[in-house]
Structure 1
Amino acid sequence: MSQVEIYTDGACSGNPGPGGYGVVLKYGDKIKELSAAYRKTTNNRMEILAAIIGLEALRRPCTVTLYSDSQYLVNAMTKGWVKRWKANNWMRNKQEAAKNIDLWERMLPLLEQHQVDWVWVKGHADNYYNNRCDFLAVRAIKEQALLEDEGFKK
């Protein structure tokens, strides 16, 4: 399988508020950048969506190292939270429903196609590609036509 690095970041101007994501895919010396923005969403939704968009951009099964500065995303994947929430009918515990179910349901089939190693990186630090993703996300909010986040719920 091909080895790919995916860097992701989400950003929001207000939370909830206008939000965007940035993705950098690296395959050897090839680099592809992706971004989009939404009228009203949350930072967590953009963090998850960035990872989804990066994985969906792959044309065949790959071994992926996915870098994110979202502890929510990385922990949800590496600590098995998402699989547990799904097994419990999308409940985090007996009283609290999981959030962003539409995105987690979109993510799970991608994880069956690709072998993903999740790596947390400190945001706004010295990781060039994480900073580039942040730039892409913020720029998308300012410069792109804002889309509707159909899954966003107050």
Structure 2
Amino acid sequence: MMNKKDSTHHSSLITHHSKSVTIFCDGSSLGNGLTTDTRAAAVALLGYKGIWRGVGAYLGQATNQQAEIAAAALGLEALREPCRVRVVTDSRYVVETMSGRFRRKSNAEWWERLDEAARPHEISWEWAKGHAGHVVQEAADRAARRIAQLGHVDESVLRDAIDRIGVVEEQ
């Protein structure tokens, strides 16, 4: 179940010819920054005209919230030109903060990275309930958790995430 959020970043670089891209992103933090052996990772799965690609990052010591912010930034940073973007995440924290409904009380450097990545794009932020069976969101979740477990990005994990998606329209 997805709830569409109405927040949009606007850029003067967006034209009617701009690509429409969907990004499903998820972060994972095993230990949630509470232990010295916390292992965090971020994954974004980008869809354009039915073609999907994945990007991931091992973050090391980071909280769940930081990993969720990083996942959204990672997806936006992977775009090569200004686009219309639908960002879907299971993090209400990211959606509500980027929509202006939550104040930024912490994680300033992480928010700065996401703001910079978002700047050239027109973005709608959507929340998707986690672990609710949405194929693409589940693939991102599984990949982020696996990269956190491994302690590094393994391209086979990202390929496996894309393979799990199969043919899913961005809707």
Asked whether the two chains share a fold, i.e. TM above 0.5, the reply is yes
Q: CA deviation at 1:107?
A: 1.7
Q: State TM-score, norm by structure 1.
A: 0.80
Aligned to 2:30: 13
Does residue 113 of the first structure (1) align with residue 134 of the second (2)? no
Q: CA deviation at 1:144?
A: 4.1
Q: Counterpart of 2:28 in structure 1: which amino acid?
A: A
Is 2:44–2:54's contact at 8 Å kept on the other side of the alignment?
Answer: yes
State which of 27, 35, 54 in structure 1 corresponds to 2:56. Answer: 35
Is 2:22–2:86's contact at 8 Å kept on the other side of the alignment?
Answer: yes
SS of equivalent residue, structure 2 residue 132: coil
- CA offsets per residue over residues 73-130 of structure 1, 9 Å max, x none? 0000113546xx5xxxxxxxxxxxx211111112223332000000000001121111
Aligned to 1:142: 149
Q: For this pair of structures, how many residues does the alignment match?
A: 132
Is 1:44–1:72's contact at 8 Å kept on the other side of the alignment?
Answer: yes
Q: Counterpart of 1:52 in structure 2: which amino acid?
A: A
Taking the TM superposition and a 5 Å limit, the aligned residue runs for 1:4-153 are 4-16=21-33, 17-81=38-102, 85=104, 98-145=105-152
Is 2:55–2:78's contact at 8 Å kept on the other side of the alignment?
Answer: no
Q: Counterpart of 2:134 in structure 1: which amino acid?
A: N
Give unpaired runs (5+ residues) of structure 1: 86-97, 147-154
Moved over 6 A (4+): none
| % identical equivalent positions | 33
